[in-house]
Structure 1
């Protein structure tokens, strides 16, 4: 972390330890469906960062700095099932629509900081949230976000505190190349259906429909438009 950021903000949020314990218990639960998250936790490859308020920009510099470092470490030593989880102390009363707005506000702020620091968008994915090949990009590495919060309608997304889990897009491509992606995806969907009583209607494969619809966990309407706008030079893959 830069000296400027370190001088302005503490190294961690006071609630970080408690948040980390809550997330580990949530993922370790027998009925939690995401086997990828379970693997990351078992390998000690899930980094957990505590933050204050998902509806505030207070910790955005620190979150972005951590994301860039996380991307650099992954490129230096690629490893399957690595994730960065940002767990916010609150607010815990947000409904699904308010949580969705907060998630995209944080994403927009983090992306704008990436642009300000001259980071290139990962050319393997599109910066256009309407494009089926859309993914986020921080520090030149593509990410997929999974939002968790207390009032999520899907049980697997229901967690005592607001959280954003940043998963590396490259890991999904590695699993595809190894012929393991479809098997793991189906296993997760079966487990999620057993937990919720139905399959998540928002889930889709990358390249079929924009993954932006999946980030917050809310079942979005047919005419939903993603509020994100990339402020940098348009790059990425062709749609």
Structure 2
């Protein structure tokens, strides 16, 4: 695996910064992360390819280490992909889950435990992704997105630390922030996002790609079965 690079001044990183800074962009959390210098951007080649997964994964782990060392609010890790070939919402969704599966498989192979605060089954209403033992909420963006807030010139995967949401709840700030984002998104798009749901009411996997999906939608992600981490740890001890 390759050491993370500093892509903060890459033209695509700067373009993504400008997209977030634009006044109509609804996510005030992302705006805060950028303003505080806490939005880490990695530029990769193609969302449809696993070529850069061995760069993305260690960069994600490095982001987790920095967050745990200084768990301030509003920290995000974004991967912006250079290839901007037109993608339908369905194709982007497929590529998003391919990248997620690849990163999750690497995480499991290296013996990283799934965050116990969430579930690994994508059908479970308490599902979230986990990397390096830390739960994440994923936001996908691409040129063909139907929601304006998700429509960037290049494909993007934004990893948001889920523990930050719980911290906001503990501080009594979550509902106000959520309401502000929803109101801004409705003003931008002219309608409320039909895919929004609270954690615990429905699986958040349905929200990641930004595509509106029906009740018969099946998540392609193969979550880890119960006991996988214990088995991996035992295999490692046996090998030693």
Same fold per superposition (TM over 0.5): yes
Please give the secondary structure, in 2, of the residue aligned with 1:129: coil
Distance in 2, Cα, partners of 1:86 & 1:96: 18
> What does residue 120 of structure 2 align with?
127
Distance in 2, Cα, partners of 1:30 & 1:86: 22
1:211 is aligned to 2:204? yes
Equivalent residues of 2:121, 2:224 under 8 A apart: no
> What does residue 67 of structure 1 align with?
60
Unaligned runs of 5+ in 2: 230-240
Distance in 1, Cα, partners of 2:82 & 2:130: 25
Distance in 2, Cα, partners of 1:203 & 1:230: 22
Moved >6 Å (runs of 4+): none
Q: 2:108 aligns with which of 112, 115, 133?
A: 115
Between 1:35-44 and 1:72-81, the stretch displaced more is 72-81
- What's the offset of the Cα at 1:57? 0.3
Q: 2:179 aligns with which of 183, 186, 196?
A: 186
Residues 121-158 of structure 1 show CA distances to partners (whole Å, capped at 9, x for unaligned) of: 00000000001111000001000100000010000000
Distance in 1, Cα, partners of 2:50 & 2:159: 17
- What's the offset of the Cα at 1:120? 0.4
Over aligned residues, Cα RMSD in angstroms? 1.8
> What does residue 36 of structure 2 align with?
43
- What's the offset of the Cα at 1:234? 4.5
- What's the offset of the Cα at 1:91? 3.8
TM-score by length of 2: 0.91
> What does residue 155 of structure 1 align with?
148
Aligned length: 229
Change (3 A) 1:106 1:16: farther
Unaligned runs of 5+ in 1: none
Q: 2:50 aligns with which of 48, 53, 57?
A: 57
Distance in 2, Cα, partners of 1:73 & 1:51: 21
Equivalent residues of 1:127, 1:235 under 8 A apart: no
Equivalent residues of 1:12, 1:51 under 8 A apart: no
